Amino acid sequence: MTIATLSPSQSPLQVDRNPAAMNGRAVVVRPGLRAKQKPTPTAVIYCEANFGAIDGKTANGLVRYSEKYKILSVIDSQKAGLDTGSVLDDKPNAIPLCRDLDDALAQAGKVPDYFIFGMAPSSGMLSTKERGLVLKAIGLGMNVVNGLHEFLNDDPEFAAASAANNIEILDVRKPRAKKDLRMFSGRIDEVTCPRIAVLGTDGAIGKRTTATILTRALNDRGVKAVMVGTGQTGLIQGARYGIALDAIPSQFCSGEMEATVVEAFEGENPDVIIVEGQGALSHPAYLTSTFILRGSRPDGVVLQHAPGRTKLGDFGLMDMPTPASEINLIQTFADTKVIGLTLNHENMSDSEVGEAITLYEGEFGFPVTDALTRSPERLVDMVVSAFPELKEKLTNVLQ
């Protein structure tokens, strides 16, 4: 049984229905008892030759935001000695890039609690060299966070190493048993607050980052927002509601998406729900956007686009779609509307970002911004313009 501290508004006996806390069971809160605060576990992230790049999106996201782990360093020998914040956003954050695991341990001065595999290659599998490194981390007593499609707990060598060293391996993408997966039911209509999906024109284009910043900005302004994660990085960051959608059998994807949004609504009673997107509706390989649109049935869509990207990230022979073509596809495929465009500024100067914002606002007639280089107030305005009933919720002014 998990014991938690009562807030003044809680009854003497209350059931916490947050699925992240329940782990399949109700959590009973009893008066007069206090939970002992646990320190945030420490972690190093492996991202060899990919930090700051497309396939390093898990490491990139965790460096920018992690509720669940204290990130000590990132392993990437090609950028060793640099600061991760400077590499990503030109803003130092005192999280160093290290040459290898030994270098990371030396800089930490201790063995961290977790080793996080911070890359998301299209193959979703470990290389022979990477297998050896993960086994080395296990041998040192580090727990492992694995976001790949390869489930390490199912591998006899990793399972034996885990047992021998008394550590845990978290296979983040591993879905629940098929007998427990949920089909679409129509219960999504019980969710009465606006649902906004952050979709994109390509994979690894910044959808999760924009969704995270948008959710935080709304909460900072007094609009209660909850984010539903749909990929491994958001779950590793500590999303309270979410699923690794691309690891679920397609028959259950819409139902799992629907059920997770319903759980977030019932557990939080939010003013708005933000749904993280995956892939792109037009993408030939990543089709999870279809299930996000069908399962969550968003009232609005924020579209993320990279004007400086000419080819699809993992498919260099294929041209990027235009925002106009993606908007048309989304609004044809689903009963929803695109309410704004957000930009990924890769390969662009700040002045080029400004010019793109002006150009696209003139073309589409709705708000356009860059979540990382412009004020989060613009994201709030984007949502409130589309859903004016949220305006009365606004309180603080963002800085």
pLDDT digits (tens, 9 = 90+) for 255-289: 999 999 999 999 999 999 999 999 999 999 999 99
**Is the pLDDT confidence value at 361 over 50?**
yes
**Is the pLDDT confidence value at 39 over 90?**
yes
One-letter amino acid at 364 equals F
DSSP 41-110: PEEEEE-TTTTTSGGGHHHHHHHH--SS-EEEEEE-GGGTTSBHHHHHHS---S-BEESSHHHHHHHHTS
* Structural domain contains residue 145: yes
**Is the pLDDT confidence value at 77 over 50?**
yes
Clarify whether residues 240 and 382 are in a common domain. Answer: yes
CA distance 320 to 282: 10
Phi-psi region of 220 (alpha: psi -120 to 50; beta: other; left: phi over 0): alpha
Clarify whether residues 373 and 236 are in a common domain. Answer: yes
One-letter amino acid at 113 equals D
The token pair at 157 is: 């060598």
CA distance 95 to 204: 22
* Structural domain contains residue 23: no
The pTM (predicted TM-score) of the whole model is 0.88
Average pLDDT value for residue range 194-202: 98
Decide if 84 contacts 93 (C-beta within 8 A). yes
Q: Which value, in Å, is the radius of gyration of the alpha carbons in the chain?
A: 21
* Structural domain contains residue 8: no
Question: Over the chain, what is the mean pLDDT?
Answer: 91
Residue that wins the pLDDT comparison between 295 and 31: 295
Clarify whether residues 273 and 307 are in a common domain. Answer: yes
Number of Cβ within a 10 Å radius of residue 219: 17
Clarify whether residues 196 and 288 are in a common domain. Answer: yes
The token pair at 69 is: 């782990």
* Structural domain contains residue 2: no
Number of H helices, E strands in the chain: 13, 17
Question: Which pLDDT score is estimated for 367?
Answer: 98
Clarify whether residues 201 and 254 are in a common domain. Answer: yes
The token pair at 369 is: 């911004």
Question: Which pLDDT score is estimated for 399?
Answer: 58
Clarify whether residues 234 and 335 are in a common domain. Answer: yes
Q: Which structural domain, as residue segments, surrounds residue 97?
A: 42-171
> In the chain, how many domains are there?
2
Which of 229, 233, 261 is CA-nearest to residue 243? 229
Average pLDDT value for residue range 283-309: 97
Clarify whether residues 223 and 133 are in a common domain. Answer: no
Give me the sign of the Cα torsion angle 183, 189, 194, 199: positive
Decide if 282 contacts 202 (C-beta within 8 A). no
Decide if 78 contacts 100 (C-beta within 8 A). no
Torsion of CA 9, 39, 206, 357, to 10 degrees: 60
CA distance 138 to 208: 29
The CATH number of residue 323's host domain is: 3.40.50.300
Q: Last residue of a domain, which of 141, 171, 201? A: 171
* Structural domain contains residue 74: yes
Question: Which pLDDT score is estimated for 397?
Answer: 76
Clarify whether residues 195 and 344 are in a common domain. Answer: yes
**Is the pLDDT confidence value at 11 over 90?**
no
Clarify whether residues 205 and 254 are in a common domain. Answer: yes
The token pair at 302 is: 């924020």
Phi-psi region of 186 (alpha: psi -120 to 50; beta: other; left: phi over 0): left
Decide if 54 contacts 65 (C-beta within 8 A). no
Q: Last residue of a domain, which of 150, 171, 192? A: 171
280-311 burial, b at 16+ Cβ within 10 Å, e below that, comes to bbbbeebebbbbbbbbbbbbbbbbbbbbbbee
Decide if 238 contacts 68 (C-beta within 8 A). yes
Clarify whether residues 197 and 232 are in a common domain. Answer: yes
Parallel, antiparallel, or unpaired: how do β-strands 241-242 and 225-229 relate?
parallel
* Structural domain contains residue 35: no
pLDDT tens across 146-159, in order? 999 999 999 999 99
Q: Last residue of a domain, which of 171, 198, 215? A: 171
| Cα angle: 218, vertex 335, 262; to 5 degrees | 55
DSSP 350-367: HHHHHHHHHHHHHHHSS-
* Structural domain contains residue 26: no
* Structural domain contains residue 398: no
One-letter amino acid at 106 equals A
Clarify whether residues 155 and 245 are in a common domain. Answer: no
Clarify whether residues 387 and 287 are in a common domain. Answer: yes
Decide if 62 contacts 237 (C-beta within 8 A). yes
CA distance 59 to 189: 36
The CATH number of residue 109's host domain is: 3.40.50.720
